[in-house]
């Protein structure tokens, strides 16, 4: 059996959580492969909204096993809070939620270092979620990290102390004003580690290999989006992991030859939270309406998301890098009532018109070239079948499919599980 992937094609928050939840009924296993609690994945069903950060979005399905893969970084404190929030659902976590021994831990001092680094950068800050993601991946690649499997060893606290002490001197090096009580942060951390230790730790690459061999279906859940990828995103305004398809291989130990479908998910417009270039960003009523109607506030930090027209130059790039085989278009309902819609199909770049994503996409280098289309008036949120779609929406979808050369198989018309239309 192949492993299917679901990935964000923009700057995150495309609606991955919702679609993973919808697709989980087709899979035995859902596995997160990168990122950490910088992610906020929203699911809605039965009138309740859930936001997950580290726990995979298949957790509410009775028979699905949820795996936190080796490529993920885990903050035990946030993880414990997530578990606490789910207590009322009476889920059997010991059985349903299993964690790779090779996943790295976010320490309290990683969070402090993230904050110190951002403060020191001043205006050039990344706009990090301040969850300690960058410093934790730095320790991973620097070969200093503490992994989940270390918690099963007797001496892990010594390793912890040495690393936390080193972090403290690094914080001093930044020479910025930081108020914190490390003893208190550590109390919370060690308490949360004990809760984490109650879960099942596994060698997830071996588990997934055997699961596949025994005919289980697996869906890998991405976090963030392709334009936040550490290699292919808008560096340095990116996250610290490979959010693209290849990240699923390294983040789960699945061979490239085992990958089946690659589901690429995008919003019918574009959003971005945090700093960094965004060629189609809007500062007018259209952008404001997208933000308001789309309720565009970060699921992790509550920050307002920047909004703009769909950028096909960037989307094509993401489709290619991931090898997307099917697309899902989210939040078309938010655009209902727009008199016109614009889609960026090329950039003016250094006096030339180009259709690929160049090295620098800052506003001073790039001016978007737009194709204008007619908007639709109809409310999409109660529609249950693609045959009910207005002509203008069908035209929009057909135009995107022609440009992207990949079929749009799902159109989402609202946040609820049921507001999902298969084509
Ligand atoms: P993720 O990080 O990719 O899982 O996405 P987020 O959960 O951060 O952000 C997506 C937001 O859009 C959430 O508030 C969802 O409930 C909401 N959402 C998802 N799909 C739709 C849709 O089709 N229409 C509307 N209006 N909201 C949606
Ligand atoms: P999901 O999985 C949107 C952004 C931050 C910042 C940059 C680096 O919900 O789509 P980091 O905390 O990783 O150091 O932040 O990346 N970012 C996200 N933006 N959705 C996310 O996750 C994000 N995770 C990180 O805003 O610009
Ligand atoms: Mg999100």
Question: What is the rounded distance in angstroms from the CA atom of residue 197 to the CA atom of residue 195?
Answer: 5
Residue nearest to atom 26 of ligand 1 (CA): 414
Residue 115 Cβ inside 6 Å of ligand 2? The answer reads no
Q: Is 13 noted as a catalytic residue in this protein?
A: yes
Other C-beta atoms closer than 10 Å to the C-beta of 155 total: 8
Question: Cβ of 314: how many Cβ atoms within 10 Å?
Answer: 27
Question: Whose CA is closest to 107, among 52, 147, 67, 80?
Answer: 147
Instruction: Please work out whether the CB of residue 334 comes within 6 Å of at least one atom of ligand 1.
Output: yes
Which mutation among 5, 9, 18 tests ligand 1's pocket best, with the greatest number of atoms within 8 A of CB? 18
Which residue in the list 4, 21, 41, 167 is annotated as catalytic?
41
- Counting from 1 in the atom list of ligand 1, the atom nearest the Cα of 293 is 26
In the 3-class helix/strand/coil scheme, how is 138-199 assigned residue by residue? HHHHCCCCCEHHHHHCCCHHHHHHHHHHHHHHHHHHHCCCCCCCHHHHHHHHHHHHHHHCCC
* Residue ID of nearest Cα to ligand 1 atom 12: 15
Residue nearest atom 27 in ligand 1 by C-alpha distance: 415
Q: Which atom of ligand 1 is nearest to the CA of 49?
A: 16
Name beta bridge partners: 221. Answer: 6, 32
Does the C-beta of 129 come closer than 6 Å to ligand 2? Answer: yes
CA of 58 to the centre of ligand 3 (A): 15
* Tokens found for residue 6: 């679901």
Among 415, 417, 420, 422, the mutation site with the greatest number of ligand 1 atoms within 8 A of its Cβ is 415
Q: Which atom of ligand 1 is nearest to the CA of 300?
A: 8
pLDDT in tens, the chain (423 residues): 799 999 999 999 999 999 999 999 999 999 999 999 999 999 999 999 999 999 999 999 999 999 999 999 999 999 999 999 999 999 999 999 999 999 999 999 999 999 999 999 999 999 999 999 999 999 999 999 999 999 999 999 999 999 999 999 999 999 999 999 999 999 999 999 999 999 999 999 999 999 999 999 999 999 999 999 999 999 999 999 999 999 999 999 999 999 999 999 999 999 999 999 999 999 999 999 999 999 999 988 899 999 999 999 999 999 999 999 999 999 999 999 999 999 999 999 999 999 999 999 998 899 999 999 999 999 999 999 999 999 999 999 999 999 999 999 999 999 999 999 999
Check: CB of residue 219 under 8 Å from CB of residue 29.
yes
Q: Is the CB of 223 under 6 A from ligand 2?
A: yes
Establish whether residue 69 lines the binding site of ligand 1, counting it when its CB lies within 6 angstroms of any ligand atom.
no
| DSSP-assigned letters across all residues of 64-81 | -EEEE-TTBEE-HHHHHH
pTM for the full predicted model: 0.97
* Nearest ligand to residue 16 Cα: 1
Active site residue 41: yes
Token pair, residue 287, equals: 């952008």
Q: State the distance from the centre of ligand 1 to the C-alpha of 292, rounded, in angstroms.
A: 13
């Amino acid at each position: 059996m192949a492993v299917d992937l679901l990935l964000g094609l923009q700057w995150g928050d495309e609606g991955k959580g919702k679609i993973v939840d919808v697709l989980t009924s087709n899979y035995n296993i859902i596995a997160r492969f990168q990122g950490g609690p910088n992610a906020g994945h929203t699911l809605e069903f039965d009138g309740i909204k859930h936001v997950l950060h580290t726990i995979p979005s298949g957790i509410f399905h009775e028979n699905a096993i949820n795996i936190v893969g080796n490529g993920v970084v885990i903050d035990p404190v946030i993880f414990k809070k997530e578990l606490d929030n789910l207590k009322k659902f009476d889920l059997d976590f010991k059985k349903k939620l299993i964690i790779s021994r090779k996943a790295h831990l976010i320490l309290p001092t990683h969070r402090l270092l993230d904050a110190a680094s951002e403060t020191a950068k001043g205006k050039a800050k990344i706009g990090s979620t301040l969850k300690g993601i960058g410093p934790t991946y730095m320790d991973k690649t620097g070969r200093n990290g503490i992994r989940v499997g270390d918690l099963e060893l007797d001496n892990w606290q010594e390793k912890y102390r040495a690393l936390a002490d080193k972090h403290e001197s690094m914080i001093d090096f930044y020479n910025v004003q930081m108020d914190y009580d490390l003893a208190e942060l550590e109390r919370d951390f060690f308490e949360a580690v004990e809760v984490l230790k109650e879960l099942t730790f596994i060698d997830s690459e071996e588990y997934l290999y055997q699961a596949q061999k025994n005919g289980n279906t697996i869906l890998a859940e991405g976090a963030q989006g392709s334009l936040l990828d550490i290699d292919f995103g808008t560096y340095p305004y990116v996250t610290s992991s490979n959010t693209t398809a290849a990240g699923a291989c390294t983040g789960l130990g699945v061979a490239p030859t085992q990958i089946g479908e690659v589901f690429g998910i995008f919003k019918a417009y574009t959003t971005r939270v945090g700093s960094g270039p965004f060629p189609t960003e809007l500062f007018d009523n259209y952008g404001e309406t997208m933000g308001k109607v789309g309720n565009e506030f970060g699921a992790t930090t509550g920050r307002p998301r920047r909004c703009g027209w769909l950028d096909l130059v960037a989307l094509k790039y993401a489709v290619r890098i991931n090898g997307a085989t099917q697309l899902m278009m989210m939040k078309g309902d938010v655009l209902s009532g727009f008199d016109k819609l614009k889609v960026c199909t090329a950039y003016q770049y250094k006096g030339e018109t180009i259709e690929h994503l160049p090295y620098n996409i800052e506003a001073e280098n790039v001016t978007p070239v737009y194709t204008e289309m007619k908007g639709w008036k109809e409310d999409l949120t109660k529609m249950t079948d693609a045959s009910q779609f207005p002509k203008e929406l069908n035209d929009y979808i057909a135009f995107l499919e022609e440009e992207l050369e990949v079929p749009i198989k799902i159109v989402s018309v609202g946040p609820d599980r049921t507001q999902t239309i298969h084509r």
